[in-house]
Amino acid sequence: MLKIRKATVEDADSIRELFRDTITSVNKKDYDEKQIAIWASGSENKNGWEMKITEQNFLVAEIDSKIVGFSSITDEGYIDFMFTHKDHQHQGIATKMLFVLEEIANEKKLEKVWAEVSITARPFFYSKGFRVTERFEKEVKGVKFDDCIMTKYIEHHISKYSMEKNIEVRLIAHGSSEYNAELELRNKVLRIPLGLNVYDDDLSNELNHFHIGAFYNELVGVLILTPLSKSEVKMRQVAVEEELQGKGIGKMLVDFSEKVSKEKGFERIVMNARDSAVPFYEKLGYRKEGDMFTEVTIPHFKLYKNLYGD
């Protein structure tokens, strides 16, 4: 399980190694050999790294106690680092680290955050709302780099209560543009992190399912109800945008799905829930049924809830 924590000086060697290895493997597709060599040599100054770890808001991301990413932001809002291990690219790690950095900026009431962004990282930052505000050429030890500053203005987070007031939960029509957005969200949150693709699933029968979406200006959460019989319906594919998880959206989706289920005449909801999500559903009245099993490569439990009590 991914864990993000504050870095310590004891992490310096692992951070330096990840910095060097990422540049020489991931970034090499966008830079020539001289640029890579100069850039990667920045890992050599251990004292400099320890100083940055101490002085900046410096984070590391861990999986099974192994550092797989690191990032940092100054008190002024400058994002100095955003690196993910070469074997853990496209798993949402940078997204989660960036969310924490923006939370720090929000707590400090900063107007904006900005970063000097590599060619390789520009698509990621652009997808997170950053825009190029300055382009320039810099020279390091006689080697030139085309560089840019990307900036994002902070929209200070509203409270969970205020967010819930502004969330709209409703049914999504199959085949609509909202359904296409639903597929993209399901893929991003539920499939890609496992090395899978939702478009490889059999989607042909989804026309007869109930698709529920949570909207906060755009689609930010989804849940599907699949009828199994006249009295039983299966909840599945529950997904919320990573940066908005923990804001009450999942509960709103479940509450709405129970309302829909009752309106459609169903008496019982069942699901195959990821082990990590079981506590969330148990708080909402769902119960385990049977032993743990593996589905889409991860542990699951069967859960159920009788909508009209036991």
Residue 135 and residue 269 in one domain: no
- Alpha-carbon span 34 to 40, nearest angstrom: 10
- Backbone φ and ψ for 190, nearest 5 degrees, come out as -105, -25
Three-class DSSP category at 245: coil
Per-residue pLDDT, 247: 84
Domain that holds residue 8: 2-153
Per-residue pLDDT, 244: 84
CB 82 within 8 Å of CB 121: yes
Kindly give the interhelix angle for 12-25 and 33-40, rounded to the nearest 10 degrees: 170
Per-residue pLDDT, 242: 83
Kindly give the interhelix angle for 46-55 and 12-25, rounded to the nearest 10 degrees: 110
CB 186 within 8 Å of CB 222: yes
CB 94 within 8 Å of CB 31: no
Per-residue pLDDT, 48: 96
Residue 243 and residue 284 in one domain: yes
Residue 87 and residue 209 in one domain: no
How far, in Å, are 165, 182, 238, 279, 282 from residue 160 at the CA level?
A: 9, 23, 20, 20, 21
Task: Tell me the two tokens of residue 232.
Answer: 């039983």
Residue 98 and residue 133 in one domain: yes
Helix/strand/coil percentages in the chain, nearest 5? 40, 35, 25
- Within 10 angstroms of residue 225's Cβ, the number of other Cβ atoms is 23
- Alpha-carbon span 30 to 120, nearest angstrom: 6
The amino acid that residue 36 corresponds to is I
The whole-model pTM stands at 0.53
Number of domains the chain is built from: 2
Residue 70 and residue 179 in one domain: no
Residue 118 and residue 170 in one domain: no
Which of 153, 184, 204 marks a domain boundary? 153
Per-residue pLDDT, 155: 66
Per-residue pLDDT, 158: 47
Residue 256 and residue 292 in one domain: yes
Residue 15 and residue 148 in one domain: yes
Q: Within 13 Å and on the Cβ side, how many CA atoms surround 1?
A: 7
Per-residue pLDDT, 194: 87
Residue 146 and residue 175 in one domain: no
- Alpha-carbon span 9 to 54, nearest angstrom: 7
Residue 142 and residue 207 in one domain: no
Q: Where are the alpha helices (DSSP H) in the chain?
A: 12-25, 33-40, 46-55, 93-107, 122-127, 160-166, 177-186, 249-263, 278-283
Per-residue pLDDT, 198: 92
Residue 113 and residue 188 in one domain: no
Per-residue pLDDT, 184: 94
Which of 108, 130, 153 marks a domain boundary? 153
For the chain, 310 residues long, give each residue's pLDDT as a single digit of tens. Answer: 889 999 999 999 999 999 999 999 999 999 999 999 999 999 999 999 999 999 999 999 999 999 999 999 999 999 999 999 999 998 999 999 999 999 999 889 898 999 999 999 999 998 888 888 899 999 999 999 999 999 998 765 444 545 566 789 999 999 999 999 999 999 999 998 888 999 998 898 999 999 999 998 789 999 999 999 999 999 999 999 987 888 889 999 999 999 999 999 999 999 999 998 999 999 999 999 999 999 888 899 999 999 998 7
Helix (H) or strand (E) segment spanning residue 114: strand 112-116
Report the CATH number at residue 244.
Answer: 3.40.630.30
Residue 220 and residue 119 in one domain: no
Which of 136, 153, 170 marks a domain boundary? 153
